[in-house]
């Protein structure tokens, strides 16, 4: 089936919401740190993460488009043991993810509008703004804004990438992997955890796909769903590599260290851009980056709220979980929990990001396995299932992610 180009562009929705989720902590924080601390030696790790996570993340939207159901429903239908383990892990990790994304976004916000406050107060102000936007806006309005922001930021980052390509050492030795000591293994796991996005983005993708289908009154076709996701995924992967290159070209090998507080880290990141374009562009870049991270915070918070509601709806099915008041209550609970997490465990911005990334990483292989079983279940017609190559790719990915998890656990125990 050949999709009309204009119709294909109009059909882009959940995939770009996915891209908005992905272009956040994994790119602006972890990929930049990877380039600054390890140079191009982390390129293979970034590519590995993007390749190994592709099947699982893709299956979320495809399953929803094929069945009209989200993945949370599928997990519940697999039994209470699986559903309970999924629910507990997600309710735990979603609070940390919201906290991590909000912490960095609040740092950018403080730099962009030139004020300073405590991490908890900065995140509180941001989450109040996010909550107001989410409870007064509709899905369609959010989607339109994100299309513009993601496209603009992609152009800006590509331009900066072209400016620094001549500074990079592109010899084969520059791409060799670093020694696998304990700190490096921990960082690799933290990098993969959010690269190019957390694995639970597949669940968000399924929720957004169902929401879009309900709004439009029809499901996306198999071709539309795959095109939508592939555009968003490819965008996020390319940008991840660009940020690694930017961090390497500007920060690697010098005496510059990445600050360990969120405001200092945000300012240093912006200096990467201004060192290439000029000091005059500082606030232009700051506002653009803030809009990107604000879109990420909006989509992450909205998605996690939808996921929590979906978990509640499957746990207590007789309640009216679709009401606006229920959405507002769950949103408020998640935001307050994120603030409590920051208050309780934040000692260093970069350590908090790594801790959150490791939590996300440990959950990833199990979600990859569940998503594989979902898309190749009897619920999905054979014509709507991925082909033999993607099936084999998925199996290899699951084995690889579980193997890496075993290496990480072993390294922490010995």
87-114: pLDDT as tens digits: 999 989 999 999 999 999 999 999 988 8
Confidence of residue 141 (pLDDT cuts 50, 70, 90): low
Give the chain's count of helices (H) and strands (E).
16, 0
More confident residue, 157 or 18: 157
| CA–CA separation, 312 and 316 (whole Å) | 6
Segment 39-57 shows an average pLDDT of 94
| CA–CA separation, 21 and 301 (whole Å) | 10
What's the total number of domains in the chain?
Answer: 1
Residue pair 46/243 in contact by the 8 Å Cβ criterion: no
Confidence of residue 194 (pLDDT cuts 50, 70, 90): confident
Which residues are within 8 A (CB) of 306 and not within 5 positions of it... i.e. 6 or more apart?
A: 204, 207, 208, 211
Residue pair 196/21 in contact by the 8 Å Cβ criterion: no
| CA–CA separation, 143 and 16 (whole Å) | 8
* Confidence check: pLDDT of 151 > 70: yes
Please provide the size of the chain in residues. Answer: 414
- Domain of 53, CATH number, reads 1.20.1740.10
Task: Kindly state the DSSP code that residue 168 receives in the 8-state scheme.
Answer: S
More confident residue, 146 or 70: 70
Spell 147-167 as b/e; 16+ CB within 10 A means b.
Answer: bebbeebbebbeebbeebeee
State the alpha helices, DSSP H only, in 137-221. 139-164, 182-194, 201-216
Segment 232-251 shows an average pLDDT of 87
Q: Which pLDDT score is estimated for 384?
A: 87
Residue pair 92/356 in contact by the 8 Å Cβ criterion: no
More confident residue, 284 or 312: 312
Tokens of 5: 């180009």
Residue pair 220/228 in contact by the 8 Å Cβ criterion: yes
150: containing domain: 5-413
Residue pair 45/34 in contact by the 8 Å Cβ criterion: yes
Of 69, 51, 56, 67, the residue nearest 391 (C-alpha): 56
Share of the chain above pLDDT 70, in %: 88
Of 177, 350, 195, the residue nearest 269 (C-alpha): 350
| CA–CA separation, 379 and 392 (whole Å) | 20
| CA–CA separation, 14 and 146 (whole Å) | 11
* Confidence check: pLDDT of 3 > 50: no
More confident residue, 9 or 394: 394
Tokens of 215: 């709004």
Of 355, 375, 350, 368, the residue nearest 404 (C-alpha): 368
Tokens of 83: 């559903």
Residue pair 143/16 in contact by the 8 Å Cβ criterion: yes
């Amino acid at each position: 089936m050949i999709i009309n180009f204009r119709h294909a562009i109009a059909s882009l929705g959940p995939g770009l919401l996915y891209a908005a989720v992905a272009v956040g902590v994994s790119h602006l924080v972890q990929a930049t740190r990877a380039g600054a601390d390890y140079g191009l030696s982390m390129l293979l790790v970034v590519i590995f993460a993007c390749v190994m996570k592709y099947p699982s993340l893709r299956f979320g939207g495809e399953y929803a488009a094929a069945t009209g159901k989200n993945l949370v429903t599928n997990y519940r239908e697999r039994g209470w043991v699986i559903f309970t383990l999924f629910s507990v892990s997600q309710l735990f990790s979603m609070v940390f993810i919201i906290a991590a994304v909000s912490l960095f976004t609040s740092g950018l916000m403080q730099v962009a509008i030139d004020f300073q406050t405590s991490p908890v107060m900065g995140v509180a102000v941001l989450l109040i703004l996010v909550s107001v936007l989410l409870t007064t806006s509709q899905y369609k309005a959010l989607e339109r804004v994100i299309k513009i922001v993601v496209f603009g930021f992609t152009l800006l980052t590509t331009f900066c990438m072209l400016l620094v390509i001549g500074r990079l050492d592109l010899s084969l030795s520059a791409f060799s992997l670093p020694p696998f000591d304990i700190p490096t293994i921990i960082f690799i796991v933290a990098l993969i955890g959010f690269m190019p996005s957390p694995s639970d983005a597949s669940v968000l993708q399924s929720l957004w796909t169902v929401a879009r289908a309900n709004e439009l009154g029809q499901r996306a076709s198999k071709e539309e769903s795959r095109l939508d996701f592939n555009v968003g995924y490819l965008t996020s992967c390319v940008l991840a590599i660009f940020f690694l290159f930017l961090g390497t070209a500007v920060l690697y090998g010098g005496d510059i260290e990445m600050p360990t507080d969120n405001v200092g880290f945000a300012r240093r990141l912006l200096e990467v851009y201004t060192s290439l374009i000029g000091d005059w562009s500082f606030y232009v870049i700051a506002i653009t980056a803030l809009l990107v991270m604000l879109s990420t915070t909006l989509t992450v918070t909205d998605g996690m709220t939808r996921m929590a509601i979906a978990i509640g709806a499957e746990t207590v099915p007789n309640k009216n979980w679709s009401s606006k008041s229920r959405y507002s209550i769950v949103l408020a609970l998640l935001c307050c929990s994120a603030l409590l997490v920051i208050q309780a465990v934040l000692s260093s911005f970069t350590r908090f990001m790594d801790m959150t990334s490791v939590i996300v990483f440990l959950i990833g292989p199990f979600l990859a396995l569940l998503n594989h079983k979902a898309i190749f279940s009897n619920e999905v017609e054979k014509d709507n299932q991925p082909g033999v190559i993607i099936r084999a790719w998925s199996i290899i990915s699951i084995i690889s992610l579980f193997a890496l998890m075993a290496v990480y656990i072993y390294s922490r125990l010995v």
